[in-house]
Amino acid sequence: MTLDSPNYSIPKSLERTPPGDGGSRNGRSILSKGPAHPVSSNPRLPVTTNLKLEPTTDRSPAAAFRVVAMGGGTGLSTLLRGLKRYVASPVWTGAVGAQASRTYPVLVSDLAAIVTVTDDGGSSGRLRKDFNILPPGDLRNCMVALSEDETLISRLFRHRFRSGEGLEGHSFGNLFVAALAEITGDFAQAIKLSSQVLATRGHIYPATISDVSLTARMDDGSVVHGETNITASKRRIVQLILDPADAVPLPETLDALERADLITIGPGSLYTSLITNLLVKGIPEALTAARGTRVYICNLMTQANESLNLTASQHIERIYEHAGGPIFDFALVNTAPVSEELRSRYASEGAAPIEADIERIEALGVRVIVGDFAAEGSVLRHDTDRVADTLMKIGLARRADVMPEPDGVGTASAGAGLL
């Protein structure tokens, strides 16, 4: 199945494989060699089937779906670059910048990002202290990622001053947001106006507009305050705490989660980019009650003190511990090998590829989609196109209440075949 045609519709006639008739045997999914798990009995998850998408000229909003992406740091902005290609531009051109060689179908009617706001270091930390505003850095990166044209204006927002008393180290985009926040007296409105300047293909919401900070309990019993100090610690995080604990999200955030057809969490630093959002009062409850399909995008590598030696399933378990219960239907897990050169480079930082313990993930009631989701360069990142393509297939299948038939990816355990 490919997503290279201008648009797609779901065929009216689909061959479904009902449970108990080739789709499962004695409660066990035939897609997995692992232990039985509650996939077939979970009403949130679709019945296994083969799905083929047919080209269409239908560009109506009814043919698309709503997506919410939650996280922070480089992981979220990387994901948003892939997702925005499936959102209609203010003036449709059929392509985005360097992606002009490929036509992307309009599959997403509404895209929203929910972004962590606990950073207290660098330019963001200085502005937070000097102007009493939320840290704009992660929000700025998401605005640039969703911008219509990542050229001059986007380069301007990313520009970091190399000299100048008081200016050195600051990002122009951060200063722009700080200025708008001072003019409007409303940080959320400043983000909205900045997004309009960049003509973003989506909405960007801070996880909360409360002035929040992080505290972490470490494995030796010590307590560390502040995100910068937490990430610099040599100890392993056991519990993350948000201060104040009663911080609440924007009403628009809860509305986006309620209306979403597809919700993603990750990739990103396990505690300081992902779990931090789940500590905002109301967000875990909204995820539990959400009608949309909830997808966890697993990191590619472990991270010192945040996820050192944790397997993919243990990442999910740590998230569940802080969210108060299960919040995922699917997990995207990379199973492609990492080159020796990059493995050696990351090993010097104490990081290693995350073990894809698929049977354990499925034992948690989470359907696993495995594949090559990595892109190697000077650093290892998720391949934004492959991840976004897979998410679009999940979204389309969800609207048809069926499972997609991926190309080069599979819902499988321990090397089982494709759908």
Q: Residues 105-148: pLDDT tens digits?
A: 899 999 999 999 999 988 888 888 888 889 988 999 999 999 87
Contacts for 251 with CB less than 8 Å, ≥ 6 apart: none
Instruction: Please give the backbone phi and psi of residue 189, each rounded to the nearest 5 degrees, phi first.
Output: -70, -35
SS3 for the chain is CCCCCCCEECCCCCCECCCCCCCEECCEECCCCCCCCCCCCCCCCCECECCCCEECCCCCHHHCEEEEEEECHHHHHHHHHHHHHHECCCCCCCCCHHHHHCCCCCCEEEEEEEECCCCCCHHHHHHHHHHCCCCCHHHHHHHHHHCCCCCHHHHHHHCECCCCCCCCCCEHHHHHHHHHHHHHCCHHHHHHHHHHHCCCCCEEEECCCCCCEEEEEECCCCEEECHHHHHHCCCCEEEEEEECCCCCCCHHHHHHHHHCCEEEECCCCHHHHHHHHHCCCCHHHHHHHCCCEEEEECCCECCCCCCCCCCHHHHHHHHHHHHCCCCCCEEEEECCCCCHHHHHHHHCCCCCECCCCHHHHHHCCCEEEEECCEEECCCEEECHHHHHHHHHHHHHHHHHCECCCCCCEECCCCCCCCC
State the pLDDT at residue 264. Answer: 98
Do strands 262-265 and 293-297 pair parallel, antiparallel, or not at all (unpaired)? parallel
State the pLDDT at residue 304. Answer: 83
- CA 399/CA 417 separation, integer angstroms: 24
- Fold for domain 1-107+248-419? Rossmann fold (3.40.50)
Q: Where in the chain do CATH 3.40.50 domains reside? A: 1-107+248-419
Largest CA distance in the chain: 72
Residues 355/334, Cβ–Cβ less than 8 Å? no
Instruction: Please give the backbone phi and psi of residue 139, each rounded to the nearest 5 degrees, phi first.
Output: -65, -40
State the pLDDT at residue 148. Answer: 79
Burial letters 10-42, b for 16+ CB under 10 A, else e = beeeeebbeeeeebbeeeebebbebebbebbee
Residues 8/60, Cβ–Cβ less than 8 Å? no
Contacts for 328 with CB less than 8 Å, ≥ 6 apart: 265, 294, 295, 296, 316, 319, 366
List per-block mean pLDDT (blocks of 10 residues) for the chain, which spans 419 residues: 34 30 29 33 38 39 81 95 88 44 83 96 84 90 85 78 79 88 92 89 96 96 96 92 97 97 97 98 98 97 90 98 97 96 91 96 97 94 96 86 52 35
pTM tops 0.85:
no
